[in-house]
Amino acid sequence: MSRGKKKAKQEITWKEIKRQKVLLIWAALFVIYGFIFYYLPLGGWIMAFQNYKPKTGLFHSKWIGLDKFKFLFSDATFIRVIRNTLAMGTINLVTSFIMAIVFAILLNEVKNVLGKKLVQTISYLPHFLSWIIVTGILHDALSSTGIVNELLQKFGFISSQINFFAHESYFWPIVAFSNLWKETGWNAIIYLAAITAIDPSLYEAASIDGAGRWAKIRYITLPGIKPTIMILLLMNVGNVLNAGFEVQYILGNGLVQKVSQTIDIYVLNWGISQNDYSLGTAAGIFKSAVSIVLILIANRIAKRSGEESLF
């Protein structure tokens, strides 16, 4: 960042531009890509203020102002959907975040190289499975004749089978668990990388001073990866509202729909199934706005406390 400021003070000459021609072309490609795929589609947001019909298109649909937003916020389902999204997003963020760090540190403490690599590889493989497969496994494992029920019965914890997908109270934990199972190993990779960047001489010095394992983790490893933790936290906070779609969509059913539906599912139901593209867009805008606010707040807090920040 500081280097960028210095450059800005430098005079931009044709010679300089010519010298960096290749770099500039590459950069321009990505700017164009970003513009086309991230900014151009935002034009579609005007749908939210129209009564959009595919027949009349973007330019001839009737303007209705904020009617769709009014419908959204008077719809009890939408309010519930926001609650579900925030709840599941937060649970996912907290659990996956903490677990990844704990897992990375634990793995780092394993001295047997072969064992370490084996565990790491196995633990991050689920990341490559599609959600369809993961939910399929979950569905089978948690079914009334599945392994979970069988084990619980064998060990006498329960007397009759539990239908896990029929109770609202089980749904969020199931989603959180599936996220953990799938992503912990993968998320830990970046922390492991950060840990290897810590200067080994620090550990040696600490050993000489008589620090044990706990002390080394607490005073060297954790502070060493703190910048990484902060940046990732910031980025993940912006993702809280992306609490997921596939898991909830596939595992949800009529009985648990009150707690299972997320904003994305709501958008699909109204925007695509009911052909109310305007309402779907309005819900999408609301989601983006909340995400931006969340990121700004988190960034401000990080800056205030003198930590790394995004901008």
Partner 1 sequence: MKSKKLTALLLTVAMTASMLAGCGGDNAGGGDNAGGGDNAGGGAETSNAPETEGGSDETASSGDDGNKDIIDFTMFIAMPGPEINDGNEIQEIIAQKTGVRVKETWLTGQTAAEAVGTIIAGGEYPDFIDGGDGQMALYDADALVAWDDYLDKYPKLKAMYSDEEWDRFRQADGKIYWANIFQNTYGESKATTHNDEAFWIQAKVLAWDNYPEIKTLDQYFDLLERYAEANPTMEDGTEIIPYTILCEDWRYFCIENAGQFLDGYPNDGSVIVNTDTMKIEDYNTSETTHRYFRKLNEEYNKGIVDHEFATQTYDEYIAKLSTGRVLGMCDQWWDFAYTVNDVFKQQGLDLKGCNYVPLGLTIDEGMDNMWHTYGDTQNTANGVAITTSCKDVDAAFQFLEDCLDQEIHDLRFWGVEGVDYMVDDDGLYYRTEEQRMQCANTEYKASHLCTYSYLPQYLGTSSDGKNAMQPPEQTSEFFAGLAQPLVDCFEAYGVTTYVEMIGSVNKETGPWFPMYSFSNNMTTETPGGVAWTKMGEVKHEWLPKVVMSESFDGAWSDYMTAYEGCKPEDFLSEMQTELDRRAGQAQ
CB of 108 to partner 1, least distance (A): 12
Give 46 or 190: the residue with its C-beta nearer to partner 1.
190
CA distance linking residue 131 with residue 182, whole number of Å? 9
Q: Of residues 64, 137, 219, 258, which one binds partner 1 by CB under 8 A? A: 258
The angle formed by the CA atoms of residues 163, 169 and 174, to the nearest 5 degrees, is: 70
Return d(Cα 112, Cα 56) in angstroms, integer: 66
> Is 230 among the residues that bind partner 1 (CB under 8 A)?
no
Rounded Cα–Cα distance for residues 47 and 183 (Å): 36
The tokens 């550990």 sit on which residue? Answer: 203
Which ranges of the chain does DSSP label H, i.e. alpha helix?
2-9, 14-19, 21-34, 57-60, 67-74, 76-109, 113-124, 131-141, 147-154, 168-196, 200-208, 213-216, 222-237, 246-251, 257-260, 263-267, 277-304
Q: Confirm or reject binding of residue 310 to partner 1 (CB under 8 A).
A: no
Q: Does residue 239 bind partner 1 (CB under 8 A)?
A: no
Say whether residue 303 binds partner 1 (CB under 8 A): no
Give, as ranges, the residues between 11 and 50 that touch partner 1 (CB under 8 A).
none
To the nearest 10°, report the CA torsion of 247, 251, 254, 258.
-40
Question: According to the binding rule CB under 8 A, does residue 193 interact with partner 1?
Answer: yes
Residue 4 near partner 1 by CB under 8 A: no
Which of 17, 24, 58, 272 forms a contact with partner 1 (CB under 8 A)?
A: 272
Per-residue buried b or exposed e for 92-110, using 16+ beta carbons within 10 Å of the residue's own CB = bbebbbebbbebbbebbee
The half-sphere exposure of 19 on its side-chain side, counting CA atoms within 13 A, is 5
Among 19, 83, 117, 303, binds partner 1 (CB under 8 A): 117
Under the binding rule (CB under 8 A), the answer on residue 121 touching partner 1 is: yes
47 neighbors 63 (Cβ within 8 angstroms): no
The residue within the footprint of partner 1, chosen from 248, 271, 284, 302 (CB under 8 A), is 271
Residue 257 in contact with partner 1, rule: CB under 8 A: yes
β partners of residue 63: 50
Candidates 95-103, 120-128, 216-224, 290-298; binding stretch for partner 1 (CB under 8 A): 120-128
- Binds partner 1 by CB under 8 A, chosen from 55, 154, 213, 304: 55
SS3 51: strand
Instruction: Out of 276, 282, 284, 302, name the contact with partner 1 by CB under 8 A.
Output: 276
Whichever of 96 and 120 has its CB closer to partner 1, that residue is: 120
Q: Which residues bind partner 1 (CB under 8 A)?
A: 53-55, 77, 113, 117, 120-121, 128, 143-144, 161, 163, 165-166, 189-190, 192-194, 196-197, 253-255, 257-258, 268, 270-277
